[in-house]
Amino acid sequence: MIEPGESFLDMLAHAWHILPLALLFALPVAVLGGLALFLLRRGSLASTMTVLVLVPVAATFVGVLGVSGFMFNPALATMLLVCLLVAVVTVPAAVLLGRMIARRSVWEREARERERAAEASRRELVAWISHDLRSPLAGIRAMAEALADGIVAEPAEVADYAQRISGETTRLSEMVGDLFELSRITAGALRLTLSAVPLRDIVSDALAAQTPVAERKRVKVLADAEAWPVVSGSDPELARIVRNLVSNAIRHTPPDGTVAVQIGIEGADAVLAVDDGCGGIPDDEIGRVFDVAFRGTQARTPDPASGGGLGLAIAKGLVEAHSGRIGVRNHGPGCRFEVRLPLAIP
């Protein structure tokens, strides 16, 4: 407060004289605050923001007390009350701001990690698909040229070449269909029309479709149901989930092995489990089984006709689109893929 008759220059001179004393009292508080910030460098952002707010307020509080010589008067009481009000307002604001910044930082970091993972998956997918498309296309081209040049002229050979071209074309068509389905899933463009779907029909049709493949490989496919649940889902997508899992199990089960499909109910979920005889998945690979174009090594390295490695990624996307869950674990002579889907509400 400016005393009567005191000029502005006199006030500045007075302030200049008390400045060293104020710094003398405030400096230790600032040092302690810096030490606290150093100790909290690995702590939460909210704690750091709180300390950053409290340090100048506390330093001002101590500096005012020191300059006044701890002689309480109305001016000092007013100053201390102002400091207290500032602390009451700014500390909660600092905590909220720190939490908001922390959440945003975590979200941005996770978003960057997801973006990097998605980009890596896209590059891997392009590499795998480019390789897988090249092989059947080269075969089709070679056989077509042989037919066009008259190198193959015998009717039996011509029919064999035509059948092989048809088989390679079917394989390419399936790969393109898988890519289209996966693109719909990853782009969030998949729209399901949900209804009550009996799981018995879905599993029966899928097993019937895979029976010729299993017989050619001498793999036995068994189905066992504790109950036949009715789930809330979309018929074509549910059929594809089961077909992809059974096809994957047959592909990775050696000849004379067994694929077991089990169906049951646990709580509010229908449970579908598919066991194969692949020999198990290495611990460092089991977490990547559902990644796009992941094929694995050792016991799960597929044959050349296995496709683009998209079946499990598509199954996972379709299960999650049904608000379900899918997982895998080593089980017995192979591994178990387990799907949980919500039951239809009666």
Condensed to tens digits (0 to 9), the pLDDT of residues 66-87 reads 767 666 667 667 766 777 777 6
Q: Band of the pLDDT at 17, cuts 50, 70, 90?
A: low
Most confident of 104-113, 134-143, 298-307: 134-143
Whole-angstrom distance, CA of residue 211 vs CA of residue 220: 9
pLDDT exceeds 50 at position 303: no
Angle at 40 between CA 34 and CA 41, to 5 degrees: 90
Whole-angstrom distance, CA of residue 63 vs CA of residue 210: 83
In this prediction, residue 45 carries a pLDDT of: 65
174-216 pLDDT, tens digit per residue, is: 778 877 787 777 777 778 888 899 999 999 998 988 888 899 8
Beta strands at 258-266 and 334-342: parallel, antiparallel or unpaired: unpaired
In this prediction, residue 7 carries a pLDDT of: 57
The phi and psi torsions of 70 (rounded to 5 degrees) equal 60, 25
In this prediction, residue 16 carries a pLDDT of: 60
Q: Band of the pLDDT at 264, cuts 50, 70, 90?
A: very high
In this prediction, residue 218 carries a pLDDT of: 92
Most confident of 25-29, 94-98, 247-251: 247-251
Over its C-alpha atoms, the chain yields an Rg (Å, rounded) of 35
Whole-angstrom distance, CA of residue 199 vs CA of residue 230: 6
Residue range 219-245: average pLDDT? Answer: 90
Does domain 195-342 sit in CATH 3.40.50.1980? Answer: no
Of residues 331 and 121, more confidently modeled: 331
Q: Band of the pLDDT at 292, cuts 50, 70, 90?
A: confident
Closest by CA position to 246, among listed 274, 227, 265 = 274
In this prediction, residue 318 carries a pLDDT of: 92
Strands, E assignment, 4-124: none
Of residues 324 and 94, more confidently modeled: 324
In this prediction, residue 274 carries a pLDDT of: 94
342 class by beta-carbon count within 10 Å (0-12 exposed, 13-18 middle, 19+ buried): middle
pLDDT exceeds 90 at position 4: no
Work out the mean pLDDT of the chain and round it to a whole number: 79
Whole-angstrom distance, CA of residue 168 vs CA of residue 137: 8
Q: Among 9-18, 20-29, 233-242, 327-336, which stretch is predicted with the lowest mean pLDDT?
A: 9-18
In this prediction, residue 319 carries a pLDDT of: 93
User: Quick check: 265 and 271 in contact, CB under 8 A?
Assistant: yes
pLDDT exceeds 60 at position 1: no
Residue range 120-186 forms a domain whose CATH class is mainly alpha
pLDDT exceeds 90 at position 326: yes
